[in-house]
Amino acid sequence: MENMWSPWRGIYVTSPKGDKCVFCEKARNPNDDEANYVVHRGHVAFVVMNIYPYNNGHVMLMPYRHIPDILEFTGEEMAEMDALLRLSIQAIRSALSPEGFNIGYNIGTAAGAGIAGHIHQHIVPRWNGDTNFMPVLAEHKVISEHLDMTYKRIKDSFRRLV
């Protein structure tokens, strides 16, 4: 468990800095949801696959608004993040039958947040003995094919639930 959060450190090192936020890009382009791996959109928050997954089925929930901290959530954002968390767990369970989950926020770069300006919550499904996932999928092509397949399964799962 103690290594659980460290793989996210440095993941977005090559992302553009400043006002070009990759999450805001996904948030404001609903026509590109498939290319952006957006699995579900709520009123004030949405769910997207992590394209640098720690594990198969790793998704992130976030508000559409570019805010850095959960203390800035409106009541509506708080409520929808909570609802989307529960929905995501149901959808991932139905799509991938994981044996467990790691769920949480990295708030601030000191905590390992790759995109610290846009708060997001990680949901990582876990299976017994899954710790070798990343080395196995180290080749980029393998990861993208795998992502596409997992994206479809989780998205279908959301469709059935809502």
Output 21 or 78, the one with its CB closest to Zn ion. Answer: 21
- Bridge partners (DSSP) listed for residue 59: 49, 123
- Bridge partners (DSSP) listed for residue 78: none
Residue 22 contacts Zn ion per CB under 5 A: no
- The catalytic residue among 58, 120, 122, 146 is 120
Residue 70 contacts Zn ion per CB under 5 A: no
Stretch that binds Zn ion, among 33-41, 61-69, 144-152, 153-161 (CB under 5 A): 61-69
Residue 52 is encoded by which pair of tokens?
Answer: 């640098």
Output 28 or 140, the one with its CB closest to Zn ion. Answer: 28
Output 23 or 158, the one with its CB closest to Zn ion. Answer: 23
Give the closest residue to 158 by CA, choosing from 44, 66, 37, 63.
37
Residue 21 contacts Zn ion per CB under 5 A: yes
Residue 65 contacts Zn ion per CB under 5 A: no
Give the strands of the sheet with 59-63, arranged side by side: 38-41, 45-49, 59-63, 121-126, 100-105
Terminal alpha carbon distance of the chain: 33
Residue 118 contacts Zn ion per CB under 5 A: yes
Question: Contact, 154 vs 39, CB < 8 A?
Answer: yes
Output 40 or 118, the one with its CB closest to Zn ion. Answer: 118
Q: Which of 66, 93, 146, 153 binds Zn ion (CB under 5 A)?
A: 66
Q: Is 120 tagged catalytic? A: yes
**Please, what is the minimum distance in Å from the beta carbon of residue 126 to Zn ion?**
28
Q: What are phi and psi of 116, to 5 degrees?
A: -70, -25
Residue 23 contacts Zn ion per CB under 5 A: yes
- Bridge partners (DSSP) listed for residue 60: 48, 122
The residues annotated with a catalytic role in the active site are: 120
Q: Applying CB under 5 A, which residues contact Zn ion?
A: 21, 23-24, 66, 118
